[in-house]
Amino acid sequence: MSERVLVVNADDFGASEGVNRGIVEAHVRGILTSTSLMVTGPAAREAVALAREHPALGIGLHWDLDGKGTAPDVDIDDPAAVRAEMARQLDAFHELMEGPPDHVDSHHHVHRREEVAPIARELVAPLGVPLREQGDVAFVGGFYGQWEYGVTDLEHISPEFLIWLLRNEVGDGWTEIGCHPGYAAGLTSDYLNEREVELATLTDPRVREEIEALGIRLSSYAGYSR
């Protein structure tokens, strides 16, 4: 049996000061190993400063084509516009972080869409880093508290459910569990109080105890690249 390695990755780093604070707290006090920087977010520069204070926190790029923060609302059916904006955000990441991302994903998984996926693969290929769900890292997206739009479902972000995911969906090799911890204050989003529940779960000592009992090794994508 090969080793089981788990990346616990938070989306939306830079979306707000509260999200930034929650992500760092989930890293320092909990099981979070990695996050994806939304370079268009109003708190992106604060996120970069926090990243420098916590060098063990892996940092990737969270592409945004939905007009959040400073991002324009890109016409997904216009490949030139999509490529230009995605390249702009990749350049912005390089400038802010003074280096490349250690993984790439996107807001609302837009990079998986048929019109966008080839462009995303083209831009990420030279970096030699994982693109979510496009390689050999299994992605587990079940830790989410709003599977029906506007309807909160706290069961799916409870410690008990996360432990179930660890037992049943983290197999051999590399796996990423996505999450969205944070504090709701100051954030404009349909997903608010759920973030605080996620934070409580990710810092629940029972979850770390289960990871240790299962023999799962926590890592960021920096370890994958090495």
What would you measure as the largest C-alpha separation in the chain, in angstroms?
A: 49
* pTM for this entry: 0.94
**Is residue 76 predicted with pLDDT exceeding 90?**
no
Coil, strand or helix at 45 = helix
pLDDT, tens digit (0-9, with 9 covering 90-100), for 160-200: 999 999 999 999 999 999 999 999 999 988 899 999 999 99
Residue of 98, 111, 168, 114 whose CA lies nearest to 140:
168
Distance of alpha carbon 26 from alpha carbon 107, whole angstroms: 20
What b/e string do you get for 150-177 counting C-beta neighbours within 10 Å, with b at 16 or more?
eebeeebbbbebbbebbeeebeeebbbb
> What pLDDT, on the 0 to 100 scale, is given for residue 197?
98
Cβ atoms 200, 27 nearer than 8 A: no
Average pLDDT, the chain: 94
Residue 31: pLDDT band by 50, 70, 90 thresholds? very high
Query: What tokens appear for 182 in the block?
Result: 């944070």
Which residues contact residue 224 at a Cβ distance below 8 angstroms, ignoring those fewer than 6 apart? Answer: 5, 7, 102, 103, 130, 137, 174
In terms of CATH, what superfamily is 4-225?
Glycoside hydrolase/deacetylase (3.20.20.370)
Phi, psi of 195 (to 5 degrees): -65, -40
**Is residue 142 predicted with pLDDT exceeding 90?**
yes
pLDDT, tens digit (0-9, with 9 covering 90-100), for 11-29: 999 999 999 999 999 999 9
pLDDT, tens digit (0-9, with 9 covering 90-100), for 192-214: 999 999 999 999 999 999 999 99
